[in-house]
Amino acid sequence: MKITTRNIRPICALALITAATEITGIRIVAAEGQTTQMAPFNVAAEFGVDGLRIQNSQSVLNQYLLEQHGVAQLQDMAGLAPNLGTSNSDTRGFGDVISLRGVTNSIFFSSPAIGLVIDDVPSGSVSSYPSSLLNIESFTVKAGAQGTDYGRNAPGGVIDIKTRTPGATHQGNVLLDYGSYKYSALQASFDGPLNDKVGYSASVGLSEHEGYITNTFKNRSADDRRSVAGRGALYWKAADQLQVRFGLTMEKTSDDATRLTSLFSPDPFKVASDTNGATKVERIQLSLQAKKTFAWGTMAVTTSSQDWDLDPSINDLDLSPLPLASSNVTQSEKFTTQEIRFESTPGAQRTQWRAGAFHSDSAINGDAKRVFVVPPSAYVPPNFVQTERSVFAIGQKTLAAYANLDQPLAPKTTLKFGARLEHSASDLDRTKVASNSLGFPSPQDPRLARSQSDNTLSASAAVVHSVSSSLNLQAKTSIAHKPEGYSGFTGNPLLARFDGEQIWATEAGVTFGPPKGRFGGSVLAFWNAIDNDQFERTVPNSTDFVVVNAAKVIARGFEAKFMWSPVEKVWWDFQAGYTSATFDDHRDAAGTRVDGKYVPFIPTYTLRTGVTVDFGQGWSANASYAAVGKTYYDERNTATFAQRAYGLVNAQLRYRFDHYTVAVYGQNLFDQDHYRFINPEIFAGSPGAPRRVGIQLSFVY
């Protein structure tokens, strides 16, 4: 039977779960009026870390901790969990690289290594990940392979975000923000009951600011940013023990160019470019989930459809006043998913299990045009301008079944097992045309049409032992896979295809601290052996850019984190990680062995720590420090293409009265220069945000 989700609509989820209840012989009956319950928003406790448990391989943050660390968008999350790194040029996700314990995605064409799930709804490629963070209840980073726990494959880890759900009364939160670089923002969120069976949740975010970079040639800022985002959901109690959720997420950004300046510029915030550029992105996602509760547990059916459009991304590649090189890229992604999941009712000292099936269909269409001047030579006349246009369509389908089991062996010891069987299929249809300003014949790439498929089995095993109520030991080992795929920026059939990646991950750690004490923490060590590591690079003597496989990469390191309240109304959280990710068997593009060199895009360490003090009578303050270790951006670890270690300091002073809160804040207070991304091909870097100060006013009811 051929399975496709291309034309499946969200209403099929409700039909599936209704059919399943008929099969099991359970009749759906009308229920008494009841809305989805949520713990009320407690202003007095907003500064605490209550309820945020310390666990190995898992970091949980609430909205307050995100604000404390200056995380306004997803791309700011480096170091929110130990060894979590991000490399980006502030393009709202396009071309981002996310790393966790040495496992990454490539810039454009490989599947995500770190999955993103928001309210049980998975996202597509990393480029299509949303930027705005709205109405956050919890932000959880789970490190290590998660493919046996989630429908969407997540071989290196997962970011699991939960938004606020409606309670029995209407609640709202409005935030106004104004700061440096004419930054202005509005965020508002509301939720509550519409009647005794239906509740709602709605949020909106607007923001804009002048760019940090000055284009001296155009005499204007080069990287202005503007965005609008919204999220809404309806919660319907359709019948006894049957909950249905309809979700809508949208985001639209209208930005200037990618934030890039020359590495040789004496001021990283100045550029002289003849093209100011543009980056415009639209995202919209529809989802539906139906969840039925039985005596043995729950069944959930989730379906979603996401459209992501980049139209256009225009950039000056030579970063000079001369029209030497430019690019114009349009790209779209259609991503649909279907998942059915069964899980047991939680309970102490009993077997826990989860199982499900997942299907996804991704279709990426790209159109990239590059124009560049070819230097004169014996074979090239003056004023020779080359134009190349690549058009590609890349498809990726996945069908997977997954299951995991937690089996108590003794009152204090539990074994955990998981397995995932996945079938992946990918295809490529790519053409390229070339022309020049002098009308000379140009060699054309033939059309390249290819397809492939693969079956993989992933598995995990772990043991957790409770020495006492305040001391737990854990060890885990797993095998995970990233699927094979195709690169859209080459017509060479030998280079277009790349192999699947396999990760053998092992970890062992300890958590300590009483369940409701003032201090708790964890320490963990990990070892990842990665075969056929996927990353992208330029093909020598060409304009091709492809994903290649490094035969072997070894990533090893450790993590430490704790939360401490030394006295009443004082909280301290700390997270740090070290990763040594090196090539163990690999040659660079020139054929030179680079064994022992660090893998690009992976920081050697991350550190985030913050202190909050509640002075009473409505006054509170916090300060945080975030550090990122040295990061290389090429295989040879060239010093020119490396970002040295750096640290950023943020602080905030707040005053709360009645339902209002006023806050003044500063980010990167010591104005630390640093790059968030370096492009070796054009000798350019993306400078991180400079020092910024601002004021916020919020109202909560």
The tens digit of pLDDT for each residue in 383-420 reads 999 999 999 999 999 999 999 999 999 989 999 999 99
Is pLDDT above 70 for 189?
A: yes
**In this prediction, what percent of the chain has a pLDDT beyond 70?**
92
Are 641 and 87 a contacting pair, CB within 8 Å?
no
Q: Which residues contact 460 (CB under 8 A, 6 or more apart)?
A: 145, 148, 404, 416, 417, 418, 419, 476, 477, 478, 479, 480
Mean pLDDT, residues 446-453 taken together:
96
What is the helix (H) or strand (E) element at residue 23, kind and residue range?
helix 12-23
Is pLDDT above 80 for 53?
A: no
- The average confidence (pLDDT) of the chain is 90
Q: How confident is the model at residue 518 (pLDDT cuts 50, 70, 90)?
A: confident
Is pLDDT above 90 for 490?
A: yes
Is pLDDT above 70 for 191?
A: yes
Q: How confident is the model at residue 348 (pLDDT cuts 50, 70, 90)?
A: low
Q: Could you give the CA distance from residue 504 to residue 156 in angstroms, rounded to a whole number? A: 10
HSE-up (13 A, CA, CB side) for residue 179: 21
Q: Could you give the CA distance from residue 655 to residue 540 in angstroms, rounded to a whole number? A: 58
User: pLDDT tens for residues 639-650?
Assistant: 999 999 999 999
Is pLDDT above 60 for 36?
A: no
Among candidate residues 398, 388, 442, the one with its CA nearest the CA of residue 421: 398
Name the one residue in this structure whose structure tokens are 């959280």: 573
383 vs 584, more confident: 584
Is pLDDT above 90 for 206?
A: yes
User: Which amino acid, residue 326?
Assistant: S
Is pLDDT above 80 for 30?
A: no
For the record, the structure tokens of 406 come out as 């937690």
For residue 121, give Cα distances in angstroms to 80, 293, 305, 337: 21, 19, 10, 9
Mean pLDDT, residues 273-292 taken together:
96
Q: How confident is the model at residue 65 (pLDDT cuts 50, 70, 90)?
A: confident
User: Which amino acid, residue 545?
Assistant: F
Mean pLDDT, residues 493-513 taken together:
96
How far the first Cα of the chain sits from its last, in Å, is 53
Q: Could you give the CA distance from residue 398 to residue 359 in angstroms, rounded to a whole number? A: 5
Are 533 and 547 a contacting pair, CB within 8 Å?
no
**All domains in the chain, ordered by first residue:** 12-700 (2.40.170.20)
pLDDT for position 11: 37
Among candidate residues 653, 696, 668, the one with its CA nearest the CA of residue 179: 696
User: pLDDT tens for residues 228-262?
Assistant: 999 999 999 999 999 999 999 999 999 999 999 99
Q: Could you give the CA distance from residue 434 to residue 380 in angstroms, rounded to a whole number? A: 16
pTM of whole model > 0.85? yes
Degrees, nearest 5: CA angle 658-651-97: 115
For the record, the structure tokens of 344 come out as 């047991």
Beta 605-616 vs 570-585: how paired, if at all? antiparallel
Q: How confident is the model at residue 613 (pLDDT cuts 50, 70, 90)?
A: very high
pLDDT for position 70: 84
Report DSSP letters for 263-295, one per residue: TT-SSTTEE--S---EEEEEEEEEEEEEEEE-S
